[in-house]
Chain A
Amino acid sequence: MAKGSIMLQIAVEQTFSAPVNDVPEVWTVVFAALDGQRTVVREIASEKSHAVMVLAAQNNVIVPALGISQGVATDVWLAFDDLRRPPAILHAPSHVPSPPIDGARLVLLRVRDFGMTVDQHAVISSIRRVGSHAYLDETVA
């Protein structure tokens, strides 16, 4: 058997009630089983919307500069029964089909974005939404 067309999606939205000193990182995975046949990953994409402000928590404090990426790190892992065989790792963004990969038993979509930390003299106010998806086809090899 083969699973046919599969979609995997994962999204994380972080909302804070008050400014904080550290914004937790995003590290999350979604995964599903495959039948060990031939897999082609058709698309991997991600989206991020993020509002962030760094504020001085005390007077006469120079607020540090902070650079925030517009994107998140997204990759797809295809893992095999034989643990000596390294997983195939495909990175986003990708909007063309991957080469066919035979024998994968597990597909994982991983999404990562940085955490941020400032010291007690400053605070971060933030809302962050990140999401990624992957489309793949498993057909009989």
Chain B
Amino acid sequence: MEIAIRGEGEVVIRFIDRQGQTLLQERLVVSGPPGVQARRYVSLSIGTVRGRVELAPVLASRGTPRQRVTFDGLDPARFARGRCKAIGCSATVTRDAARGVAPAPKPRGTGGATVGEPTMADVLRTGSGRGTAR
């Protein structure tokens, strides 16, 4: 699948299985002059201990509302809806995927490389003095 990005900012895409679990998250950050574009090509399946698993991409977030993202030339919600149906997601998972709702990746299984980062939006709010007092 081709991911096309037009405009600066950070795009988060979560790749879910038919149960709606996120197996892979990709965070893509694009910077450049006005009109900058990016392309990334990804596979919509991955090998796991349970065998090959088909994935559906969910656009979890983008940098700004003006940043445009398409999957194979289609609106991400439309692509996610079609792909979810194709791999056998439930109606609830399909609806959530089209709305950009998918769980953050959580380490599962034995052994793993982990990362736990605060979201930069919270850090920016705190740094600019707009954070909530704790």
Which residues of A are in contact with B by a Cβ distance under 8 Å? 3, 6-22, 24, 27-33, 51-53, 55, 57, 117, 120, 123, 125-127, 131, 133
Write out the residue numbers on chain A whose beta carbons fall within 8 Å of the beta carbon of B46: 20-22, 24
Residues of B at under 8 Å CB distance from A?
A: 21-33, 35-43, 46-49, 105-115
CA distance A125 to B113 in the complex (A): 6
Contact A21 B26 (CB under 8 A): no
In the complex where A28-B38, A51-B113, A57-B49 touch, is A17 in contact with B32 (Cβ < 8 A)?
Answer: no
Kindly provide the distance from the CB of A40 to the nearest chain B CB, expressed in whole angstroms.
16
Contact (Cβ within 8 A) A31 B28: no
Residues B29 and A11 in contact, CB atoms below 8 Å apart: yes
Known: A16-B24, A17-B107, A18-B109. A32 touches B32 (CB 8 A): yes
CA A13 to CA B105, docked complex, whole Å: 13
Residues of A within 8 A of B107 (CB): 17-18
Q: Give the complex CA separation of A55 and B23 in angstroms.
A: 18
